[in-house]
Amino acid sequence: MDMLANEGYKVVHVSPHTIEDYNATYNVTCQGKHIITNAAKKLRIPMGEIWISELWRPYEKFILFHELREIHYRTCGLGRDEAHECAVRDGESLWRNEPLWHKVVHDIVEMDRRTAEKKERSRKLRRV
């Protein structure tokens, strides 16, 4: 969490409707490198901000840890997907014995499944 203070990032909790298809996203600079997600581009997140859906406020420490680790790995040169997987592994290592962490992982997996289904239904409707 030192990165949060050192880099001066602002954490913004946003309406689930605003960030509907995402759990969290960011548009930051880290060690002089601009690190931004496609979601942040789409949502036009201001520089220096990490957005987290209000849905995840009870799990903020886990979500924020994950986003900061992902930023770290991307700063080291990893791509978005590889950085994400490394951040997931870091969370597993740190919190594998914490029941609340297991709950957030379960809830995120379920939310991601529903989001994927919604996108698939929308894609099918566009083809009709």
Q: HSE, CB side, 13 Å, CA atoms: give it for residue 63.
A: 23
Is 0.85 surpassed by the pTM of this model?
yes
DSSP state of 23: S
Pairwise CA distance, residues 78 & 97, whole Å: 28
Are the beta carbons of 22 and 10 closer than 8 angstroms? no
Q: What is the pLDDT along the chain (128 residues), one digit of tens a residue?
A: 577 667 889 999 999 999 988 899 999 999 999 999 999 999 999 999 999 999 999 999 999 999 999 999 999 999 999 999 999 999 999 999 999 999 999 999 998 898 888 888 888 887 76
Radius of gyration of the chain (CA): 15
